[in-house]
Amino acid sequence: MGKIFQIIWNNKKITTSFLLKEKGKDMKRTIILFSLIVFVCSFCFIHTGNAQNTGDVEKVVTIDTLPANSIYKQIWQPFIAQWKEDYYVVSYGLKLKGKSDLGTLVCSYTKDGGKTWSAPITIFDHTLPNGTQRFAYANTVLFRPDGQDVIWCFAMRAPLYYSDSEDSELCAAYSADGGLSWHQVELSNKFPSPLITNAGVVTVNRDGKKKYLLPVHRNTMRHDPRGDREQFVLESTNLMEWELAGYVPHPDHVWIHEGNIAEGENPGELKMVMRTAKKHKRKEQLDVPRAYSSVSTDAGKTWSMARPEPALWNTRAKGFYGKDSKGRHIYVYNPGPSGERKQLMYTVKEPGDDWSEPELFYWNNNRNSYATLIEKAPGVFLCVWDSSNDIDVKRSVIRFGILNLNK
């Protein structure tokens, strides 16, 4: 009679069929052959360090690690920009002990396509005074305008004595040498509102003029009982002067924030996908935990009522949303309950189709969050996220890898 044997190795099934006889040489040969296969697979498993499938992101390397025995408690929220063909710059934060989410902002660069990375270079230093005041900083956003040999770093700053970043203002620095040095500039913020940065700058054309859009949100309700929680968009023509483009309307019970803007499904359409929580219980996920989205058809000036995205999971964590040059949308997110932030998953939407089944982006028995991606070639993304080396530790390393949607 025929018997099917299955061996599970490195998350894959190896299936072999043998013809067994009740007795005789055929059965002995079968037993020897099967034993040899088990031995070889066991040997390979042991000598690959009990390897597991860590996801579809390839060539994963560590950019930087939280300094030991320092004044910093976490390393967090990276952003990436491309300077030259294999020259990338990644910015991120070093979070101060005693602060919720404020610290010093730095960057690292690679000239070999992400194989090796430089020592950190300071962009915004919380130890240096700005006139008579000292600031702490958070949440870098890198942007290289088309046709310019300049990388901008937008971020937010708050007085150093603040416990968190909820009432910050927009700040900026630029680099003209690929991140080797940074020069701070004072912006003209013509919309005087506290804000929180998170997602990238998007370039649009409105009435024949180039506009830069920066999605931000506000959480003054955290410290002010009459404050609010709103998602809105700033706009600029020169990256120095910023004013309000428009708010994103939303149901009263939902807090939408950390929105990412990308081209929508239809020509001339922008779509923003946002993290969610309960508006009046900010640490609770929605009863039906989904990301919300909004659409603009006038280059970011007005936005539709935010609505749930049935296929896009969100439990109070940043979800990256973008579009590649082949017209595919991608959403990268943390599955699981609020606050867990272990695996990163992703789903892809082909033009005119539904969202795909989720695939593993990255996980190595550790904690991962806040992925940011930029497209290097059609369907090929450079990826950065904050990560760790331990399932019980959050945000102790910054990682880089490459995701190829064409495979």
| pLDDT bracket for residue 20 (50, 70, 90) | very low
DSSP letter string over 85-125?
TTEEEEEEEEEETT-SS-EEEEEEEESSTTSS-PPPEEEE-
pLDDT tens across 206-225, in order? 999 999 999 999 999 999 99
Give me the mean pLDDT over the 316-325 stretch: 97
Give me the mean pLDDT over the 298-306 stretch: 98
Task: Please say if the pLDDT value at position 137 is more than 80.
Answer: yes
- Residue 107 is predicted with a pLDDT of 98
- Residue 211 is predicted with a pLDDT of 98
pLDDT tens across 353-401, in order? 999 999 999 999 999 999 999 999 999 999 999 999 999 999 999 999 9
- Residue 91 is predicted with a pLDDT of 99
- Residue 19 is predicted with a pLDDT of 33
- Residue 51 is predicted with a pLDDT of 52
Q: Please tell me what DSSP assigns to residue 281.
A: B
pLDDT tens across 174-184, in order? 999 999 999 99
Least confident of 21-35, 156-170, 257-271, 326-340: 21-35
Give me the mean pLDDT over the 280-300 stretch: 96
Burial class (CB within 10 angstroms; exposed 0-12, middle 13-18, buried 19+) of 216: buried
Please state the domain extents for the chain. 2-47, 58-404
Higher pLDDT, 282 or 15: 282
Q: 3-class DSSP state for residue 27?
A: helix
Per the listing, tokens 């890898």 go with 401
Least confident of 23-32, 146-155, 297-306: 23-32
Q: How crowded is residue 149: how many other Cβ atoms within 10 Å of its Cβ? A: 12
- Residue 41 is predicted with a pLDDT of 41
Which tokens is 110 given? 């690679």
Give me the mean pLDDT over the 308-323 stretch: 98
Strand partners of residue 328: none
Three-state SS string over 166-200 comes to CCEEEEEEEECCCCCCCEEECCEECCCCCEEECCC
- Residue 73 is predicted with a pLDDT of 98
d(CA 271, CA 196): 19
pLDDT tens across 47-80, in order? 344 456 999 999 999 999 999 999 999 999 999 9
Record the pTM: 0.88
Task: Given CATH 2.120.10.10, say whether it is the number of domain 58-404.
Answer: yes
